[in-house]
Structure 1
Amino acid sequence: MGYVDEPDYTELNQIIERLQAHMMRGEYALAYPVACEELACARSVCAPGDVHLAIALNDAASVERYLGRYDDAREHFIEAGEILREAWGETNSEYGTTVNNLAGLYRLCRDFDKAEETFKHALTIYQASLPEDDWRTISCYNNIGLLYQDQGRYDEARACHERALALLEGSAAGTQHPNSIATTLMNLGVCLWHAGDVTRAKDLFERGRAMTLELNGRVSASYASALNNVAGFLADQGEPEHALELFEESREIAGELFGTESRAYTIVCQNIERVRGDLNARS
């Protein structure tokens, strides 16, 4: 999200401030009508190709992605990317971020070939416009690793996450973006878990969860995701009761943040039913 100083954009800036307040508190359902208002305002005051319109499109798409409105988000990310590429060029980092976000959306939609192509395009843009240890480049390595995890390509995923962690720990990016370290620890834990290194995986999960809670608080998307990772690990290790507790906590957070109709809420409900089924089979 960004600000503009021109007087003609005063109303737009005021809407952006309201949207940012909701997003900072993780109030995605409340943010959605404000994002729609921002986009409508931008379309009314911006000329075609105005980068301020691209900001509004990206803001709307980001909220829509959180709420599972994937078709709308894809349309808006693509439109924003076209504006930014035309305005600032193919190797601009802001354009790269929109490409990266679009790739993440393809991943959520399980269009893995398109996601990999688009993530690698984003990484190429970042490498051309930013230092290798910039947090956006590091985030892109993590995103590609997550995509590989989705496909069971754990060795390739591990290499991506280890690269991200090395860059974070060896530069100012880790100090400036501690959430990235927490996320990378969780990501690497998943890879080690599937590689059979259970002891190291458990250590990374617990470190990542503790950091995420400290940095973001309990009611946050990051912490809900961390709970899901740890719960999945515990269920696999034969601790379904403990796993169920964490999944239920994650469900509560997802419902509060995204609503009970969201994809995030549905996924954690499916995880709960799976663990309950395992418990019933034992009794």
Structure 2
Amino acid sequence: MGGNNRLYEVNLTLTADNDPELSKLTDYIRQERFSDEEGWYRLGSVLIDMGQFEKAEDIYQVLLDQRKDEKDMALIYHRLGYIKDVQGKYEEALTFYEESLAIRQKTLPSNHPDLAKSYNNIGLVHDSMGNYPKALSSYEKALEIKQQSLPPTQPSLAMSYSNIGLVHKNMGNYPEALSSHEKALEIQQQSLPSSHPDLAKSYGNIGNVHYNMGNYPKALSSHDKALEIRQQSLPPNHPDLASSYNNIGAVYENMGNYSEARTFYERAVQIGEQSLPSNHPELQKCRNNLERVKNK
């Protein structure tokens, strides 16, 4: 790719073109990972998926230096923003996302889905920084664009409603949060298989809002549904299962049913210890919950 960037372009040839499993895998990767992109962009995406963020950043920085096309630059800025967001460098992430948005606002129709992606990711960064009003404004702009450009049952709309619901919950606007999460769930029920993990997330979000409102029977019902879906669709030691068990334990604890709470907290800790680092904050939260209920 030129210069001393220590990035090399290598042409690879399969040693066994007749391997059906390898062929199936490569076809899937081509379809799944941005099949309309050039190889270097695709490699950057794969590196992001692998958690190799610094290597992905190196590639995108080189591409940024070489590209003059605004469409390409908007995509590169967007990917760099994502990398910085995942790394917790929120101010840098915001700068890159806003660069990408500015280009897209100049070059795309006002209802283009890529604008919704920019607003959504800017909202995510503000959300992570605790800037909830700004996050809500960005999420609502993303939703407005999606409503103009996508079918009403598109799962991406559900994602926007979920994000809006989470911000309302963080702001203490529980009725608004509940309404948004219920809209997300309604769309998912129309567009996704009944055992899809995204439905479990929506049931969990609804359960959390009911919990914060003190509606413990409704919270328990929603968390039970989330757990049931996750048991069907996820490996038995998946962290999301630990989250469901922990949520159910918290409801039982607040209902005064400490023996049931302890059972669910123990299961949450057991799964967390199998799937998370020993110092992970979520695992520590589960352990603290278990210790607290043991003393009741």
Q: TM-score range by the shorter chain?
A: 0.7 to 0.9
CA separation of 1:33/1:220 partners in 2, compared to 1, >3 Å: closer, same or farther? farther
| 1:196 and 2:210 aligned | no
Tell me what 2:265 maps to.
Answer: 243
1:168-247 to structure 2, matched below 5 A, reads 168-169=188-189, 171=190, 173-175=191-193, 178-217=196-235, 226=244, 229-230=247-248, 232-237=250-255, 238=258, 239-240=261-262, 242-243=264-265, 245-246=267-268
Per the alignment, residue 46 of structure 1 pairs with 67
The C-alpha deviation readout for 1:195-237, integer Å capped at 9, x for no partner, is: 3332332232132134235434367675565455445445544
Shift of residue 191, structure 1, vs aligned partner: 2.0
Q: How does 1:61-80 map to 2 (within 5 A)?
A: 61-80=81-100
Equivalent pair of 2:161/2:183 in contact (CA under 8 Å): yes
The reply on whether 1:2 has 2:20 as its aligned counterpart is no
- How far residue 125 of structure 1 moved from its aligned partner, in angstroms, is 1.1
Q: Is the Cα contact below 8 Å between 2:101 and 2:119 reproduced in 1?
A: yes
TM-score normalized by structure 1?
0.76
Shift of 1:184: 1.0
Superposition RMSD in Å? 3.2
Instruction: After TM superposition, list the pairs within 5 Å mapping 1:123-202 onto structure 2.
Output: 123-169=143-189, 171=190, 173-175=191-193, 178-202=196-220
Report deviation, 1:272.
Answer: 4.5
Deviations 1:140-160 (A, max 9, x none): 111111111112221111111
SS in 1 for 2:45: helix
Q: How far has the Cα of 1:187 moved from its partner?
A: 1.0
Pairwise CA distance, 1:96:
0.2
Give the gaps of 5 or more residues in structure 1: 23-29
Once residues 224 and 35 of structure 1 are traced to their aligned partners in structure 2, the CA distance between those partners, rounded to angstroms, is 31
Please name the residue that 1:31 is paired with.
52
Change (3 A) 1:112 1:166: same
Paired with 1:63 and 1:216, the residues of 2 have a C-alpha distance of: 26
More off after superposition, 70-79 vs 214-223:
214-223
Instruction: Find the partner of 2:123 among 91, 100, 103.
Output: 103
The residue identity in structure 1 corresponding to 2:285 is N
The residue correspondences of 1:103-122 to structure 2 (distance < 5 A) are: 103-122=123-142
CA distance in structure 2 between the partners assigned to 1:109 and 1:213 by the alignment = 33
State the distance in 2 between where 1:80 and 1:222 align: 32
* Superposed CA offset, 1:83-105 (max 9, x none): 32222232111210221121122
Task: Looking at secondary structure, tell me which structure has more helix per residue.
Answer: 1
Q: Please tell me whether the aligned partners of residues 57 and 83 of structure 2 are also in contact (alpha carbons under 8 angstroms).
A: no
Q: Kindly indicate whether the alpha-carbon contact (under 8 Å) linking 1:224 and 1:253 is maintained by their aligned counterparts in 2.
A: no
Structure 2 segments unaligned to the other structure (5+ residues): 1-32
Query: Which residue number in structure 1 is paired with residue 41 of structure 2?
Result: 12
Tell me which moved more, 102-111 or 34-43.
Answer: 34-43
1:278 aligns with 2:296: no
> What TM-score, normalized to structure 2?
0.73
Q: Which has the larger radius of gyration?
A: 2
Structure 2 SS opposite 1:175 = coil
SS in 1 for 2:136: helix
Task: Render the CA deviation track for 1:151-171: whole Å, top value 9, x for unaligned.
Answer: 2221111111112222222x3
CA distance in 2, matches of 1:231, 1:70: 33
CA distance in 1, matches of 2:272, 2:95: 30
